[in-house]
Chain A
C-alpha cells in the first residue's frame, strides 16, 4: 500500500504501518487539514525475525514507557493531592488573614477614635491655657495688686499716728514741765521748743505713714507678680501638656490609620491568598486528572506492548517454521545429491575393482568352492587351494576403494 498522491487523504491503518526498527512510535506531525496523522510511508520488507525483533523491542519500549507513565501518573496524582491540600491550607490561611485584617481595621478605627478623643481633650486643656497666656501677654502685676493690698492699712496707719501723737503729747508735757521748772513756761523759748517738738512729731508721723503705705504697696505688688508668674507658668505647662497630648493623639490616630492600612493590606493579601489557594486546588485537580489519564495511557501502552510482544512471537514462529521447512526440504535435496554421489562412487569402485574381480571369474566358471584340507598334518594341496590362495592374495591387497 503506497502513499497517496493527496497528502490530505487519510489512509486506512493497515499493513503499511510497519513497527520495524522500533522507531515508528515517535511523534508525527498532524495534518493541519484533516487533523489526522499523515499516512505512514511503507518501509522495506522485513523478514519475520526482523519483525519479531522489532516488535519485541517496541513491546519492551512500550512496556517500559507504560510503566513509566503509570508511575508518573501516580506521582502526578500524589502531587495533585498535595497541591489540593496546600490550596485548602492557603484558603484557610486566607480566611484567617481576612479575619485578622478585619480585626486590625476595627482596632485601627478604635485607635483613630481614641487619638481623636485625646486630641479633643488636649485641645480642651490647651484653650484656657492659651487664653491665660494671651491675657498675660497684656496684663501687668498692678492689675492684681488690689487683691493683695491690706484692707486694714488705714487703721494701722491711724494707730501708728495715734501712737506717734501720744508720744508727742507726752514729750510736750515733759517739755512744759521742764519749762515750768525752769520758769520758762510760756516763754518764747518754751514756745519754740514746743514748735520744734510738734514739727518733729508731725514729720515722724508723715514718715511712718509713708513707710507703712510703701510697705503695703510693695507686698501687694510682689504677691500679684508671683501670682501672675505662677498662673502664666501653669498655663504654659498646661499648654505644653495639651500639645503633647494632641501629638500623642495624632500619633495614636496615625497608628490607627496605619493599622487600618495594614488590615486592608492583610485583607487584600488574604483575598489573593484565597485566590491562589483556589487556583492551586484547581491546578491540583487538573493535575490529578492528567495523572489518571497518564496512568490509563500507561496501561494502554503496556497492553499494546503485550500485543506487540505476541505479534513478535507470532512472527518468530513464522520465521522458525519457514526456516525449518527450508532445512527439511534442503536436506531432502542434499540427500538426493548424496545418493547420486554414492551411485557414482559405486560405479567408480566397480571400475577400479574390475581387474580384481576378474580373478573371480575362473572361480565362478568352476562353480565350486575350495575343498577344505585341514584334517591332515601333511597333505597335498588341491587345485582349489591354489585357486583360493590366488583369490585371497588378491583380496589381501590394500583396498582399491578404501
Chain B
C-alpha cells in the first residue's frame, strides 16, 4: 500500500466469515475474562530456613555468646508457615492484602474505581466498568467445597497471617 498527493491508496483484505466470527467470539471471551480481575497467589514465595541453617545461626550466636559478645538473637525472623507437603516458607499474600487494604483506606476512590473494572471476588457481582465491550455479567458462586483430589486442605486465615 502507498499513498500520493491528492489521493490515497487503500488496501483492503477480505476476511473469511468463520474467521470474523472467531474474532468476535474471542473478543467477547476476552471481555469476559477481563472481568475476572487479579487472582492473588496465596502459596509460599520464599522457602524458610532449614533446621540446619538455623543450627548454623544458633552456632554463630553461641560463638558470640561464648566470647561474651552480643548474640543478636531475637524474634526478628517471622515464624514460617507450613504449607502442603510439609513445605515451610513465607508467603507474600498477607503483605499483599495489607497493601490492598491500606490503599482502600488511604485512597478509597482510586481503590474502589479500580474494583469497578472487575467482578467482586467474593460475590461475583460484576463491576460497573467490568465489560466495556459486552455487557457486564455477574457470576453467582456456589458454596466452597473441597475438590482436591489429593485431599489437600486450604490453609487457615490465622495460619496464613501468623505463620506456623
How far apart are the CA atoms of A320 and B25 in the complex, in Å? 66
Q: How many A-B residue pairs have CB under 8 A?
A: 172
Which of A37-45, A46-54, A200-208, A263-271 makes up part of the contact surface?
Answer: A46-54
Alpha-carbon distance between A320 and B66 when the two chains are bound, in angstroms = 13
B-side contacts of A153, CB under 8 Å = none
Interface size of A in residues (CB-CB distance below 8 Å): 59
CB distance from B80 to the nearest CB of A (A): 10
Minimal Cβ-Cβ distance residue in B for A381 = B13
Instruction: Apart from A341-B43, A358-B33, A359-B33, list 13 A-B contacts with CB within 8 A.
Output: A53-B67, A320-B63, A327-B53, A338-B89, A341-B45, A352-B41, A375-B3, A379-B10, A383-B15, A393-B30, A394-B33, A397-B34, A402-B41
Residue-by-residue, is A380-402 near B (CB-CB < 8 Å gives 1, otherwise 0)? 10110011011101100111111
Chain A, residue nearest B84 (CB) = A344
Whole-angstrom distance between the Cβ of A355 and the nearest chain B Cβ? 5
CB of B59 closer than 8 Å to a CB of A: yes
User: Among B16-24, B139-147, B156-164, which stretch is in contact with chain A?
Assistant: B16-24
Task: Report how far A376 CA is from B10 CA in the complex, Å.
Answer: 7
Query: Is the Cβ of B30 less than 8 Å from the Cβ of A391?
Result: yes
> Across the interface, do A337 and B88 meet the contact criterion of CB distance under 8 Å?
yes
- Assess the A393–B12 pair: CB atoms within 8 A: no
- What is the size category of the interface that chain B forms with chain A? 35 or more
Whether a CB of chain A sits under 8 angstroms from the CB of B26 is: yes
In the bound complex, how far is the Cα of B129 from the Cα of A199, in angstroms? 218
In contact, A330 and B87 (Cβ under 8 angstroms):
no
Residues of A within 8 A of B (CB): 47, 49-50, 52-54, 56, 316, 319-320, 322-324, 326-327, 329-331, 333-335, 337-338, 340-341, 344-345, 348-349, 352, 355-356, 358-359, 362, 366, 371, 373, 375-380, 382-383, 386-387, 389-391, 393-394, 397-402
The interface bits of chain B over 26-46 (1 if a CB of A lies within 8 angstroms of the residue's CB, else 0) are 110111011011111101111
Contact of A383 with B66 at beta-carbon distance under 8 Å, contacts A338-B46, A376-B3 already known: no
CA–CA, A371 and B14, complex, Å: 12
Please encode chain B, from 43 to 82, with 1 for each CB lying within 8 Å of some chain A CB and 0 for all others: 1111111111111100110110011100000000000000
What per-residue 1/0 map shows which CB atoms of B83-95 lie under 8 Å from chain A?
A: 0010111000000
**Are B30 and A359 closer than 8 Å at their CB atoms?**
yes
Instruction: Write 24 A-B pairs (CB below 8 A) sorted by A numbering.
Output: A49-B62, A49-B63, A319-B59, A322-B59, A323-B56, A330-B55, A331-B53, A335-B47, A344-B44, A348-B41, A358-B29, A373-B1, A376-B1, A376-B3, A376-B11, A380-B11, A393-B27, A394-B33, A398-B37, A399-B38, A400-B38, A400-B39, A402-B40, A402-B96
Task: Verify A327–B56 contact, CB threshold 8 A.
Answer: yes
Residue ID in chain A nearest B41 by CB atoms: A348
Known: A330-B52, A378-B10. A47 touches B15 (CB 8 A): no
Which residue on A lies nearest to B23, using beta carbons? A386
Write the chain A residue with the least CB distance to B92: A402
Query: Is B148 close to A, CB under 8 A?
Result: no
Question: Given the complex of chains A and B, what is the CA–CA distance between A53 and B15 in angstroms?
Answer: 84
| B138 → A minimal CB distance (Å) | 17
In Å, the complex CA distance between A380 and B13 comes to: 7
